[in-house]
């Protein structure tokens, strides 16, 4: 090398080494994330959702059945929402064991498909019934006179049956895709239980997933946004609507936005991006954003199962539990005040009577004295 070329070659070698090191660090971070999150954090999230979800949904169903007549026709959708949760929650211990054992599925191909089918029924059933609740709220606030007497329990049951049929029809094709494949990282012949399908059929599954997302998620989301957008305008413009109705409607809007933002939107976005990335990798065109999408998809899978814990919030809102607790506390205070005042008045009256009888001289014990000075 000449003197002029030597610094340039040295600088190029140094920069190339830095790039290689950065690439190696990024790969190492991704592998650590894959190992720690998928095999430690995700199973822990599933167990947390299983325990809390069973308790919260069990309480919600019990309270719902006790107050069936109070809730009106919307209780049919609330009950179906809880049924959707109970279809998915029992599968979580098996999925948690699968990820904890580093993607070793030991429960057979049929049960793998059953667990994924229950997940899909829960996910899209929840979206469907939350949309139905939103439509009922919209009709009750914006068009109360038009729907008076037309919304019945029979109609609500019929709509629920239609929702279950649509969700089942959308989810059934997923059962026909291969869900298990040989685990290349294990020499004992164990299998993987795929969340979507194996690499061989990923191109067809991507087309199915996009159509499924449009019909099962995007359309209900647009209906929900349209309903609550109109409801918000009506609530803001009209001063004749009760403040309690306004507050409850806006709270429900916040809960639904929370559900969709945390659970549903990230999952559908990164699921389809992950499938598209797998298609590109299959054709040897690995995108630069592959690792980022992979990590985001893993996180969204943990978030989406939280809907089974957050769904009871809808029931809490409809029952207006905070208001009921406040009323109970207020009644307790009133009862306590009445008892205290009546006791105070009776003791004071007895004291005055005894004082007058003894010519202004009276002896009292410590207990009576403490009552008087409170």
CA-derived radius of gyration, the chain: 31
Long-range contacts of 226-232 (CB under 8 A, 24+ apart): 227/134, 227/135, 227/137, 227/138, 228/134, 228/137, 228/138, 228/253, 228/256, 230/138, 230/142, 231/137, 231/138, 231/141, 231/142
Task: Please report whether residue 80 resides in a domain.
Answer: yes
- Is residue 66 very low, low, confident or very high in pLDDT (cuts 50, 70, 90)? confident
Mean pLDDT of 92-119: 93
Mean pLDDT of 117-134: 94
Give the rounded percent of residues in the chain with a pLDDT score beyond 90: 38
| 346 & 241 share domain | no
Mean pLDDT of 140-144: 83
pLDDT at 180 over 80: yes
Mean pLDDT of 145-153: 82
Distance (Å, whole) CA 305 – CA 44: 12
| 243 & 353 share domain | no
Task: Please report whether residue 325 resides in a domain.
Answer: no
| 132 & 108 share domain | yes
What is the total count of domains within the chain? Answer: 2
- Which position has the higher pLDDT, 330 or 23? 330
- Name the token pair of 358: 């003894």
Task: Please report whether residue 188 resides in a domain.
Answer: yes
Confidence (pLDDT) at 313? 72
CA separation, residue 191 to residues 14, 98, 107, 186, 201 (Å): 44, 10, 9, 9, 17
Work out the mean pLDDT of the chain and round it to a whole number.
78
| 140 & 234 share domain | yes
| 241 & 347 share domain | no
pLDDT at 171 over 80: yes
| 169 & 300 share domain | yes
Over residues 208-247, the pLDDT tens digits come to: 999 999 999 999 999 998 988 888 888 777 776 677 767 7
Which residues on neighbouring strands pair with residue 181, listed in sequence order? 192
Mean pLDDT of 94-100: 93
- Which position has the higher pLDDT, 58 or 7? 58
DSSP sequence for 305-369 = TTHHHHTHHHHHHHHTHHHHHHHHHHHHHHHHHHHHHHHHHHHHHHHHHHHHHTTT-----HHHH
- Is residue 204 very low, low, confident or very high in pLDDT (cuts 50, 70, 90)? very high
Confidence (pLDDT) at 338? 64
**Domain span holding position 292:** 5-319
Confidence (pLDDT) at 186? 58
- Which position has the higher pLDDT, 210 or 345? 210
| 260 & 288 share domain | yes
- Is residue 43 very low, low, confident or very high in pLDDT (cuts 50, 70, 90)? very high
| 248 & 340 share domain | no
Distance (Å, whole) CA 181 – CA 179: 7
Confidence (pLDDT) at 161? 97
| 157 & 224 share domain | yes
Mean pLDDT of 178-185: 80
Contact 298/42 with Cβ under 8 angstroms? Answer: yes
Confidence (pLDDT) at 34? 56
CA separation, residue 255 to residues 235, 247, 313 (Å): 17, 12, 7
Task: Please report whether residue 138 resides in a domain.
Answer: yes
Long-range contacts of 173-177 (CB under 8 A, 24+ apart): 173/208, 174/116, 174/117, 174/120, 174/208, 175/113, 175/116, 175/117, 177/201, 177/204, 177/205
| 24 & 150 share domain | yes
- Which position has the higher pLDDT, 226 or 336? 226
| 263 & 358 share domain | no
**Residue where the block lists tokens 């029931």:** 315
pLDDT at 106 over 80: yes
- Is residue 123 very low, low, confident or very high in pLDDT (cuts 50, 70, 90)? very high
Contact 311/81 with Cβ under 8 angstroms? Answer: yes
Distance (Å, whole) CA 332 – CA 323: 14
| 78 & 147 share domain | yes
- Residue 117 DSSP class: H
């Amino acid at each position: 090398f000449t003197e002029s070329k030597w610094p340039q070659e040295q600088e190029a070698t140094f920069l190339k080494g830095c790039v290689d090191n950065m690439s190696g660090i990024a790969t190492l971070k991704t592998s650590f994330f894959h190992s720690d999150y998928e095999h430690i954090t995700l199973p822990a999230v599933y167990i947390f959702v299983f325990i809390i979800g069973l308790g919260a949904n069990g309480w919600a169903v019990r309270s719902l059945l006790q107050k069936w007549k109070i809730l009106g026709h919307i209780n049919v959708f609330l009950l179906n929402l809880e049924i959707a949760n109970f279809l998915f929650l029992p599968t979580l211990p098996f999925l948690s064991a699968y990820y904890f054992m580093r993607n070793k599925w030991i429960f057979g191909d049929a049960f793998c498909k059953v667990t994924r089918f229950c997940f899909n029924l829960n996910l899209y059933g929840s979206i469907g019934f939350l949309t139905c609740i939103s439509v009922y709220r919209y009709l009750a606030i914006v068009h109360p006179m038009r729907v008076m007497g037309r919304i019945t329990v029979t109609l609500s049951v019929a709509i629920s049956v239609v929702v279950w049929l649509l969700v089942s029809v959308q989810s059934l094709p997923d059962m026909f895709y291969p869900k298990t494949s040989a685990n290349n990282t294990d020499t004992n012949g164990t299998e993987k239980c795929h969340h979507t399908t194996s690499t061989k059929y990923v191109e067809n599954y991507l087309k199915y997933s996009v159509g499924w997302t449009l019909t099962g998620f995007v359309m209900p989301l647009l209906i929900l946004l349209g309903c609550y957008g109109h409801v918000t305008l009506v609530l803001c413009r009209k001063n004749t609507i009760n403040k309690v109705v306004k507050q409850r409607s806006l709270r429900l809007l916040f809960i639904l936005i929370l559900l969709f933002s945390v659970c549903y939107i990230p999952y559908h976005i990164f699921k389809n991006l992950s499938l598209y990335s797998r298609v590109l990798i299959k054709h040897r065109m690995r995108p630069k954003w592959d690792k980022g999408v992979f990590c985001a998809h893993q996180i969204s899978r943990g978030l989406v199962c939280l809907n089974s814990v957050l769904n009871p919030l809808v029931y809490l809102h409809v029952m207006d539990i905070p208001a009921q607790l406040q009323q109970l506390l207020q009644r307790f205070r009133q009862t306590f005040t009445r008892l205290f005042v009546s006791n105070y008045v009776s003791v004071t009256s007895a004291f005055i009577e005894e004082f007058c009888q003894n010519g202004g001289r009276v002896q009292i014990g410590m207990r009576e004295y403490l009552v008087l000075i409170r």
